[in-house]
Chains A and B, each alone.
Chain A
Amino acid sequence: MIVVQNLIDAISLGSVYALAALGIGLIFSIMRLINFAHGELIMVGGFVIYALAGNPMLVMALSAIIVVTILALGMERLAFRPLRKASPPTLLIASFAVSYFVQHVILMIFGSRPMGVDFLSVLGESFEFAGLRVPRLQCIAIVVTLALMVGLVVFFRASRIGVQMRAAAEDFTMARLLGVKADRVIAVAFALSGILASFVSLYLVAQTGTVSYKMGVNMVLIAFVASVIGGMGSLTGAALGGFIVGIVSVSLQAYLPEELRPYRDAFVFLLFIAFLLWRPQGLLVRRASERV
């Protein structure tokens, strides 16, 4: 029974990591940018919920989704579009700059202390199912993640812009030669990454009940690790990586000797280093395609 309980924990944590990793992977696959400012999208979503505390839950959630999506589009327009032709290291450093900028704006407005928010705390309660105690939030996290993933798959397969984005991810120049609008596919990618980030915000705030200007940092690091494990550039890989990191984290939490548990993350990253030595290109990465 304890094994099943741990498995539920692992899958729900993994599904949130997968959402965060998909946001990172989506932007990377289109424009070879590792967007560390993705964590700040998650963080700002948290602060939108904090600022709207007391309003109906749906208003808080929808506002977070809308504001974060607009912020993602703004980052692209103001910071990353002018650098579109820059090298990946330049883009990476620009994403750190955006990340610190957003963090410090929030720091200036709200201060550095973590603050409590009452958001969906009713979901913290558990229900009994076949002898298992399942927190509602975990169940909802799994269901919402799966729904978002199915939505993404349908979007990428069935919509014209989705197919254009897959083409652009494989060979951006060729896609443009066929008339695919570079500005549009990149903007849509950022909007999608914003939506994914805002759902991570909802989960984090509901689960921890606090917001802080640093709350996105750890998540973006884990999301980055997850997308590297899956293979940078592969969205399926990013999602898979998220679940793997979730399962490993929960397993370490459950099965490490008690005195080592506080250092769980050290073991997670140790395993990550070992993984990279074994398979540096990630689990699902395709051969890099030649570009025009």
Chain B
Amino acid sequence: MLAIEKLQVNYGSITALRGVDITVAKGEIVAVIGPNGAGKSTLLLTIAGVVKAKAGSVKFDSRPILGLAPEKLAASGLALVPEGRHIFGSLSVAENIALGATPRSDRDGIAADTDKVLGMFPVLRDRYRQRAGNLSGGEQQMLAIGRALLSRPKLLLLDEPSLGLAPLIVKQVYDAIYALREQGLTVLVVEQSVNRALNAADRAYVMSGGAIAMVGRSSELQGTAEFDAAYFGAGQRDPGRSPA
């Protein structure tokens, strides 16, 4: 579904990604975890076409996609829920959701999918006609995910979906992600919250300093000394303790 090879991204003279390799198979949930500044958000923004890559390749459905405009990628089945959610605060909840369906023109399908999203996040139905800017953080996250689903993506990129949310809301958001996986959606999720991500994902990549430090099945990574070393940097933390 997604194959990233030797991806390199520079911001001016700073190297944000230094040769990243990641693969995501169809139907998988893959997590990228790592400390702040590891380059996780840059990775997602590059895949989605917002940030330009310096070198390397990204293939989506076996097609090279580096250099394509974000709107082209959205139309080809890729959806990004960026960090900070970026809902349109001055627009209504209904308009935000409708914008998710921008690449589509099948009215009936859009109506059915809108209904599905409102069933998944009932609070959005209650606030359907309200300004999206008046929603709480958790509701905005649900709106951002629901909006992204309206494009019927094959691959969903989620950047820090649990950031700043109450645990109960985080659970609700992740329950939705599991349900989506059941329906065959492929997900690449970036998280700082390690346990949350490892519990949700089939496989995980640990990123540090713009490079992949480690990769494995989530169950194998959890609590190992190598994982701690990769995540926190060798010698910075007692390897006996599991990461928070």
Contact = CB atoms under 8 A, between A and B. Distances in A.
Interface of A: 160, 163-164, 166-167, 170-171, 173-182, 286, 289-290, 292
A173 B75 CA distance: 15
A174 B84 CA distance: 11
10 contacts: A163-B98, A167-B95, A171-B86, A171-B88, A176-B69, A176-B74, A177-B48, A179-B71, A180-B71, A292-B82
A152 B173 CA distance: 38
Given A176-B70, A177-B48, A178-B100, 6 more contacts: A167-B91, A174-B88, A177-B71, A178-B102, A178-B148, A292-B50
B71 A167 contact: no
Contacts of A286: 90
Given A178-B100, A181-B71, A290-B84, A173 B50 contact: yes
Contact of B102 (A180, A289, A290, A292): A180
A180 B99 contact: yes
Interface of B: 45, 48, 50, 69-71, 74-75, 79-80, 82, 84, 86, 88-91, 95, 98-100, 102-103, 147-148, 151
Contacts of A178: 74, 79, 99-100, 102, 147-148, 151
A178 B84 CA distance: 15
Contacts of A179: 71, 74-75, 102-103, 151
A166 B91 contact: yes
Given A178-B147, A179-B102, A182-B69, A170 B89 contact: yes
Given A163-B98, A167-B91, A174 B71 contact: no
Nearest to A166: B91
A179 B70 CA distance: 7
A207 to B, nearest CB: 36
A179 B78 CA distance: 10
A150 B213 CA distance: 58
Contacts of A177: 48, 50, 70-71, 74, 79-80, 82
Nearest to A170: B88
B160 to A, nearest CB: 13
Nearest to A292: B82
Contacts of A180: 71, 99, 102
Nearest to A163: B95
Contacts of B147: 178
A167 B71 CA distance: 14
B67 to A, nearest CB: 14
Contacts of A167: 88, 91, 95, 99
Nearest to B80: A177
A167 B96 CA distance: 8
B130 to A, nearest CB: 15
Contacts of A292: 45, 50, 82, 84, 86
A288 B84 CA distance: 15
Given A163-B99, A178-B151, A292-B50, A173 B90 contact: no
Contacts of A289: 89
A84 B80 CA distance: 23
A177 B86 CA distance: 11
Give the most central of B82, B90, B148: most A CB within 10 Å.
B90
A167 B133 CA distance: 13
Nearest to B48: A177
Given A163-B98, A167-B91, A174 B69 contact: no
Contact of B70 (A160, A166, A173): A173
Nearest to B148: A178
Contacts of A166: 88, 90-91, 95
A174 B103 CA distance: 14
A85 to B, nearest CB: 10
Contacts of B99: 163-164, 167, 175, 178, 180
Contacts of B82: 174, 177, 292
A234 B7 CA distance: 40
B133 to A, nearest CB: 9
A160 B82 CA distance: 23
A181 B70 CA distance: 9
